[in-house]
Amino acid sequence: MTDTTNATGVLGAPVDRRDGAVKTSGRATYSTDVDVEGIVHAALAHATVARGRITVLDVEAAARVPGVLAVLTYRDRPAMRRPGRLNPLNLASLAPGVSSGYLLDDEVHYDGEPIAVVVAESLEAAHEAAALVRAEYEAAPDPVVDFPAVAAGGAPQRPMPIGPPLGGSKGDAEAALAQAAHRVDATFVTPPQNHNALEPHGCTVVWTGSGRDAQVTVWDGSQNVDWVKRHLARTFGLAPGQVRVISEHVGGAFGGRTMVWAHTVLAALAARETGRPVRLQLTREGVYRTVGGRSPSIQRVALSAGDDGRLTALIHTAQLRKGAVGGAAEQVVSCSHDLYDASAMRLGTQLVSMDLLPNQVMRAPGEANGTFALESALDMLAASTGLDPIELRRRNLAPSRGPIDGKEFSQRRILEAFDVATSAFGWADRPVAPRSMRDGRWLVGWGAATAFHPAWQFPAHLRLSVAATGTVTLECAFHELGMGAPTAVAQLVADRLDVPLPAVEVRYGDTSLPTGPGAGGSGQSASIAASVDVASRRLVATLDRLGRRTDGGAFGDGRSAHERYTEIVRRSGRDEVTVELGPRSGLAATWSGLRDTVKLMRDQRRWLKAAAGAQLCEVRVDADTGEVRVTRWVGAYDIGRVINAKTAASQIRGGVVMGIGLALTEATLVDPRRGRIMNPSLTEYHVPVHADVPPIEVHLLDHPDPQTPLGILGAGEVGITGAGAAVANAIWHATGSRVTELPITLDAVL
Ligand code: MOS
């Protein structure tokens, strides 16, 4: 597809992050750090029933708090449009986190839904007033909020379309299962999880003018500034060009800033209504109440095999939830669709709609908890057959084609990953039987699992230029969430143009730039790489033409490409030479966007591209208390071409850390009667801290994928996949206890 050689040597170099110093020294400006003259503060008041109608809404006490400028509720009939319906041809229609909008009527759709936004001169006044908003409700008697009860048959469930990534089948899997010598048939339960980025969600909005003269500038930590722009334009009846969204530094995202949630919409409303610049910084609790996270799941995985361990049946079904006003099924069974070959397979997904905040993608949505179930079940089958669990995987991994649809793998190096990881880990010394390693009071166990995450690519527009000063500039509204994207993108440009890395400037995170890809599906780098590759060749062709015109290009001899390009620009008498990929607005943009999307979809249909790997870990379990410590981690990953060895390995480590949280601590507790999240804080929702995380040894195979832009498969999400199962499998190996419900707490271990 593209030339994947690395003649410049800049690809893969472990270059320090360009934003490292500004972030670690506290000088980075996040979206609510923006200082604007005359800024005021907004805070939200939240509904306290899961479903119903507001009957009394008393804002008098709130309005009397000194410094309060406005208390806006549905009774003010704020002019806003309801978000449109999901349109499969328009990815941006995914942007609204909820389809009901905010403050549009007296209906409540989930506990925590904003019922008022308060605007005040100070943060303190805004929060005090928000707490004084008093509401009464006519609550629906039986809100649908108890997922385990619903999944057990309490409400209608919607089977999702059969086919990847939510389903698929071949042969008669149930019949094969019934006949087999070795059989595992287990139910796995995973909890809902909330997003806990270091920087809680918030934004700053400046709204000037009105009607056609309105200009709205929004600083909002986002994974898709184009979606935020288009969503706000639609909501407030503006042309997209009237909204500018800036997202420079973002303190973590993981999917939690993919959609547009209440704080962004209501800060914009507050700015329009008060005519003042507005800052709305959610509290941690505010994030839990209004920003969706991972769906819980109840999964059945049934496997069967003969004595040789070859799979005869693989069944993987998942029950999931969405919100009544938004959310979607997560691709929990996609790992089973594409990893192992069994003679007969059946995969399916059921979705139930509940009176809860809609779910939103969260690091490897689907694969993170789907691999927990599949890879735990494989371990159980290994125990039943007496095979080493990695040997069992070796015998069953589909080598070159999708086991159900026959789609060709662009490359598959999972066995190579296991080879690298097992030798680095010393896996050969592992006793097969559980409970056979002990170190004082600690029971020691080793676990393994396969990591898997599909590779994605999206359209990316950009502008690339060489200036007479020698500066090479890439402009593209992509996103930096903490993964080091601008550094890696600069490396892509330096490589394609063969110019020194320090000469490359990268501008990103601003809708005034050409529309970039969203940072999602671990697809941002590949998406940008595809466009950088095309734009670089065009730019070089343009420069060569110009060079021949100025003086036959003779001055090119003996100089570096960078010197030659700069000289050509200088001699042409221009400030810079620029190429631009993709129109910036209008109907042409819609068409070219559609064309790009269709092209990418065709490509996805032909090839099965995925990042994958091997996760190996050691746990120690206190024989008396059941306390689990993860003490060693070795992983090897095929992420295709590595752009920056340092940032890519950090991405993977972040994924593993989140995987340890998924395995051992993270769970959103939902009151089964009222649908309220009961632990909306980091004191009661536990994410791993440094003391919980061992050194994580990351091996990157670094083989360019032959079918992806510059060979990139994506590094963001694959690190969390398989991680939960690796921990659970190690706990089984240490203790003999097989825990099938997450998080694995000490009471379940002993
Ligand atoms: Mo991700 S869950 O695509 O940020």
- 732: Cβ below 6 Å to ligand 1? no
**Which positions ≥6 away from 249 have C-beta within 8 Å?**
19, 22, 23, 28, 29, 30, 221, 480
Residue to mutate (ligand 1; options 196, 330, 525, 717; most atoms within 8 A of CB) = 717
Note the pLDDT of residue 521: 94
Ligand 1 centroid to 309 CA: how many Å?
Answer: 35
Ligand 1 centroid to 583 CA: how many Å?
Answer: 26
Note the pLDDT of residue 187: 98
Note the pLDDT of residue 1: 46
Residue tagged 């390009």 (tokens): 565
- Phi, psi for residue 596 in degrees, rounded to 5: -60, -45
Note the pLDDT of residue 586: 63
Ligand 1 centroid to 281 CA: how many Å?
Answer: 22
In whole angstroms, what is the distance from residue 564 CA to residue 546 CA? Answer: 11
- 365: Cβ below 6 Å to ligand 1? yes
- 255: Cβ below 6 Å to ligand 1? yes
One-letter identity of residue 203: C
Largest CA distance in the chain: 83
Note the pLDDT of residue 458: 87
- 309: Cβ below 6 Å to ligand 1? no
Note the pLDDT of residue 599: 79
Note the pLDDT of residue 480: 97
Q: Is-contact 98 358, C-beta < 8 A?
A: yes
Ligand 1 centroid to 361 CA: how many Å?
Answer: 6
Ligand 1 centroid to 253 CA: how many Å?
Answer: 8
DSSP 127-138: HHHHHH-EEEEE
Note the pLDDT of residue 598: 82
Residue to mutate (ligand 1; options 363, 525, 718; most atoms within 8 A of CB) = 363
Three-state DSSP class for 507?
strand
Note the pLDDT of residue 159: 73
One-letter identity of residue 654: G
- 409: Cβ below 6 Å to ligand 1? no
Ligand 1 centroid to 71 CA: how many Å?
Answer: 34
Ligand 1 centroid to 254 CA: how many Å?
Answer: 5
369 to 329, 339, 365, 739: CA distances (angstroms): 13, 15, 8, 14
Atom of ligand 1 nearest to the CA of 253: 4
Residue to mutate (ligand 1; options 250, 258, 481; most atoms within 8 A of CB) = 258
pTM higher than 0.90: yes
- 456: Cβ below 6 Å to ligand 1? no
Domains defined for the chain, CATH in brackets:
40-141+198-253+257-290 (3.30.365.10), 149-194+293-455+609-749 (3.30.365.10), 457-593 (3.30.365.10)
Note the pLDDT of residue 162: 64
- 520: Cβ below 6 Å to ligand 1? yes
In whole angstroms, what is the distance from residue 728 CA to residue 463 CA? Answer: 47
Atom of ligand 1 nearest to the CA of 258: 4
In whole angstroms, what is the distance from residue 476 CA to residue 59 CA? Answer: 44
- 363: Cβ below 6 Å to ligand 1? yes
Atom of ligand 1 nearest to the CA of 363: 2
C-alpha dihedral, 33 to 38 to 39 to 40, nearest 10° = 150
Residues of the chain with pLDDT under 70: 1-5, 86, 88-89, 154-156, 161-163, 551-557, 583-586, 589-590
Ligand 1 centroid to 682 CA: how many Å?
Answer: 21
